Structure 1
Amino acid sequence: MTTAPATAAQALTGLARIRPPGWLADPMPADPDALLVRARQALADDHPGVDGRVSLVSARYTAAVFTVHRPPPQQSLVLKLHADPAAYAAETLAYTLLADTAPVARLHAEADQSRSLRLEYLPEPADWTGTHMPAVLAERVAAVHTASLRLPGEAIEALAAFTLTALHTAPAPPWITDPCAYGDVLAAHLDAYGPDLVPLGHLDLKPEHLRRRPDGHVVLLDVESVRPDVTGLIDLITLPAVLRQAGHETGPDRALNLYLEATAAHGARWTARSLKAALRAYAAATGLESLHGLDR
């Protein structure tokens, strides 16, 4: 009997990687004091009028996140700095794409010079105690996955190169290990959504990334990794592990059904059979070692 993964990252064992250690020429500093200096400089240079006590929330090789604490009636905010220009551009695009079409934290401003994002501050975590919370998470995830179906006309034109139609006729991304299987994944999405979907996926799902606004609305944090060459299947694969971490023992059948119901409410035409076939093709295309029972 296979042990269920404890975390979303463990659920993705075997996923293809193409970046070797040390790939980034100028990573974020490891010293917390140096990071705070960089954050204060970014605020002074690129976000005039925004001041307050700055504290470090998290730091990685590629990015660092800070809280800027401001006294009432001003609102505190989140400042995120990127070391990788491509990651900064991708996250800015993701927030722009999702701003009015999906339940995510709001982007207030971006600054290319410092590669910084000024984001909505949401300190209150979601209350995971309710039995309805697995369905809430599935709905929030499905809303992101289908966000491109609700874009205004000018945004649709700008993203034409990333639609299912365009991706299906383009070469497979370099990180895909089986291009034929990747083609099957895209074909399944075409059947489920039609040709105009931009197949966003990879939300870095964690229980702590679901937050509650003062009005009670629950939204997702951290869309930096949302990409149109990944698809939402990666988030479905991690869904049971995330729910388990949050205290909800949700088996693969239940997780699959929650996703089917949530995406159907947003216009998808998945069936259990077509979704399971897409999952198997996705595993073959990406090198994933297990689907943890979702395809049975």
Structure 2
Amino acid sequence: MRPATAAEALHGLIRVRPYGWLASPLPTNPAAAAERLHKVRDQDHADHPAAGGPLEVLAARATAAVAALGEPPAAVLKVHADPDAFNAELLAYALVGHSPVLPRLLGAADASRSLLLEHLSDPFDWAPADAPAALVDAVAAVHAAPAGLDAASADALAPFRLDRLTAAPAPAWISDLDAWHTALTLCIRAYGSEHVPVGHLDLKPEHVRHRRGDGAVCLIDIETLRPDVTGLIDLITLPAVLRQAGHPIAGPDVRELYRAATARHGAAWTTSDLRAVLIAYQRATSVATLSGLAD
């Protein structure tokens, strides 16, 4: 049997949008997208140093338009068509944007649903033997980032704490309530009851970058991050991402890399608890595969 891809590993959490769900789609023609992006840049982000340079369209989708600003590029301008997607990305940055493994949020404008982000162009070097460990550590750092929230942000995001999620009705995509509570209880044991369990990064090899200057490992395109799914879904996705990057690693070895990385970032996972929480999470969500992580 062929191994699951990263997308297939997420089966069970995917929610299909109905046809015509987007009320005001953005233009998919690159020239029209460039016109929209120029207008947003000049209207809402003109004070950024990169705004005076050239604008290069990177993506022209109905859901979002994206451009690089400056020469060389110093910032990424993104315009969302959907207010929920814009708010979700703002929430993601509020939760984990202070982590050094993520691009910095440089500016946001509610009226145009636009975000200005640090541009990270340097691709990740997958050749070294320690490349998988570096990726796993970056993912673990994101999962631990809510512990570093300032007091005001922590108070605003308190409804997403593990103890609050345990007491709240389960999300609609949970198929086994007992297993969900078991998973949350084990997460509390690892992170503490006040932790916000972020997860669902858009992990793929091309979304791993190096930051120019210090060479730090960084993750881009974090708008899929959510504060109600836990980081377990990213752990489940990691074996597929590593295979795609040319680093196939056995599930138990990926699990142990993650356990060690989370310990460096303040979590208290044990091997037995990680195995148990993965099994409970699969039962709770109907995720198709654990890629050997619970072996």
Shared fold (TM-score, shorter chain, > 0.5): yes
Counterpart amino acid of residue 25 in structure 2: P
Structure 1 CA distance for aligned equivalents of residues 218 and 14 of structure 2: 29
**Over the residues paired in the alignment, what is the CA RMSD in angstroms?**
1.7
TM-score by length of 2: 0.93
What is residue 107 of structure 2 aligned with on the other side? 109
Shift in Å, 1:160:
0.8
Shift in Å, 1:173:
1.5
What is residue 95 of structure 2 aligned with on the other side? 97
Report how many aligned residue pairs link the two structures. 291
Shift in Å, 1:226:
1.0
Summarize the alignment of residues 118-129 of structure 1 with structure 2, pairs less than 5 Å apart: 118-129=116-127
Retained in 1: the 8 A contact 2:8–2:288? no
Deviates more, 1:153-162 or 1:171-180: 171-180
SS in 2 for 1:202: coil
CA deviations 1:29-85 (Å, max 9, x no partner) are 2222221111111112111242332222124442232112336xxx63111111111
Summarize the alignment of residues 32-181 of structure 1 with structure 2, pairs less than 5 Å apart: 32-49=30-47, 50-70=51-71, 76-181=74-179
| Aligned sequence identity (%) | 50
Retained in 2: the 8 A contact 1:102–1:147? no
Shift in Å, 1:102:
4.3
Deviates more, 1:242-251 or 1:49-58: 49-58
Retained in 2: the 8 A contact 1:68–1:76? yes
Retained in 2: the 8 A contact 1:16–1:288? no
Counterpart amino acid of residue 239 in structure 2: P
Retained in 1: the 8 A contact 2:76–2:117? yes
Retained in 1: the 8 A contact 2:122–2:209? yes
SS in 2 for 1:146: helix
Retained in 1: the 8 A contact 2:26–2:61? yes
Structure 2 CA distance for aligned equivalents of residues 157 and 202 of structure 1: 23
Structure 1 residues 62 and 182: CA distance shift in structure 2, 3 A: farther
The match for 2:19 among 18, 21, 25 is 21
What is residue 186 of structure 1 aligned with on the other side? 184
Structure 1 residues 91 and 9: CA distance shift in structure 2, 3 A: same
Counterpart amino acid of residue 220 in structure 2: L
SS in 1 for 2:52: coil
TM-score by length of 1: 0.92
What is residue 256 of structure 1 aligned with on the other side? 255
Shift in Å, 1:151:
1.7
Counterpart amino acid of residue 102 in structure 2: V
Retained in 2: the 8 A contact 1:16–1:286? no
For structure 2, the 5+ residue unaligned runs are: none
What is residue 245 of structure 2 aligned with on the other side? 246
Structure 2 CA distance for aligned equivalents of residues 283 and 22 of structure 1: 31
SS in 2 for 1:22: coil
Structure 1 CA distance for aligned equivalents of residues 286 and 33 of structure 2: 36
Structure 2 CA distance for aligned equivalents of residues 179 and 22 of structure 1: 32
Shift in Å, 1:103:
1.2
CA deviations 1:81-100 (Å, max 9, x no partner) are 11111111121121233232
Structure 1 residues 109 and 180: CA distance shift in structure 2, 3 A: same
What is residue 284 of structure 1 aligned with on the other side? 283
Structure 1 residues 108 and 229: CA distance shift in structure 2, 3 A: same
Shift in Å, 1:16:
4.4
